Amino acid sequence: MSLLFLCGATTSAAMANEDAHYVAARAAMVSEQIAARGIKNPEVLDAMRRVPRHRFVPAQEQPHAYRDTPLPIGRGQTISQPYIVALMTELVEPKADSRVLEVGTGSGYQAAVLAEIVDHVYTIEIEEELARSAAAVLDALGYDNVTVRAGDGYGGWPEHAPFDIIVVTAAPDHVPQALIDQLKPGGSMVVPVGPIHSVQELRLIRKEQDGTLREKNVTAVRFVPLRREEPQE
Ligand code: SAH
């Protein structure tokens, strides 16, 4: 329970109503779209309940922010369906001390969900405008454990490697070797792999302590392509 005081009470009450509306929408999203489809990790479910997804989408998309669908975020890119964000987060088994690399910051939403659980998220976005706006939203929401960089994440982020977890949210046609090299022994990577502008396999890759890779295709997904800054031969 909270009390409202005199000054600016109208505005505060309006804001409180709006917040309550979004809190309820998120609770419904988690129970109907995410828990109902088998996501069990309580920390992931809590993170999905806490992160204000509507703050990561353009104003005209805010009324749809908690729907069971991806949404456009500008520059031809999309924020993934909430269930896919939850699934990718659960698959990599995030821990309080994990150091995470995300390739494809987009809106910054997946980074925020990870940042609720882990120690630090390093995230790279090739579209400078998206990197800038994601960083601004993450900053406004107080996520001081996320570092956003504008650039090509195909080669990972060697300065901060190795990572316990790598989450790739744009689809390459094969897994870039640099990302495998930057994964710690004992670490996990989730990446949609397959032909561009088509259906890809969401692949979970675990690196054993001896460096052996164990791979598993989890489900079919549809992501925007992982692009390169330099034209590829
Ligand atoms: N994780 C995002 C959704 C990402 S959409 C979210 O939560 O909103 C995929 C993003 O990957 C797009 O914004 C696209 O511009 C970016 N991208 C594509 N190729 C990239 C590359 N080589 N390096 C970094 N980002 C890339």
List of domains in the chain: 3-221 (3.40.50.150)
Task: Note the pLDDT of residue 229.
Answer: 82
Q: Give the tens place of pLDDT for each residue, 49-93.
A: 999 999 999 999 999 999 999 999 998 999 999 999 999 999 999
Going by their DSSP bridges, the two strands 163-168 and 146-150 should be labelled as: unpaired
Task: Note the pLDDT of residue 210.
Answer: 97
Q: Would the pLDDT of 179 be above 80?
A: yes
Q: Would the pLDDT of 212 be above 60?
A: yes
| Distance (Å) from CA 71 to ligand 1 centroid | 13
Task: Tell me if residue 52 falls in helix, strand or coil.
Answer: coil
pTM: 0.92
Q: Give the tens place of pLDDT for each residue, 114-157.
A: 999 999 999 999 999 999 999 999 999 999 999 999 999 999 99
SS (H, E, C) 88-149: HHHHCCCCCCCEEEEECCCCCHHHHHHHCCCCEEEEEECCHHHHHHHHHHHHHCCCCCEEEE
Task: Note the pLDDT of residue 9.
Answer: 40
State the DSSP H helix or E strand holding residue 65, giving kind and residue range, or none if neither.
none
What gap in Å lies between CA 157 and CA 139, rounded to an integer? 21
Task: Tell me if residue 43 falls in helix, strand or coil.
Answer: helix
Mean pLDDT of all residues belonging to the chain? 92
At 19, is the pLDDT very low, low, confident or very high (cuts 50, 70, 90)? confident
Q: Would the pLDDT of 18 be above 80?
A: no
Compute φ and ψ for 185, nearest 5 degrees: -55, 135
Residue closest to 25 by CA, chosen among 82, 74, 73: 82
Task: Tell me if residue 33 falls in helix, strand or coil.
Answer: helix
| Distance (Å) from CA 82 to ligand 1 centroid | 16
Q: Determine the atom of ligand 1 nearest the C-alpha atom of 107.
A: 8
Residues comprising the chain, all counted: 233
Active site residue: 2, 12, 31, 80, which one?
80
To 5 degrees, how large is the angle CA 217–CA 219–CA 223? Answer: 105
What gap in Å lies between CA 103 and CA 54, rounded to an integer? 21
Task: Note the pLDDT of residue 196.
Answer: 80
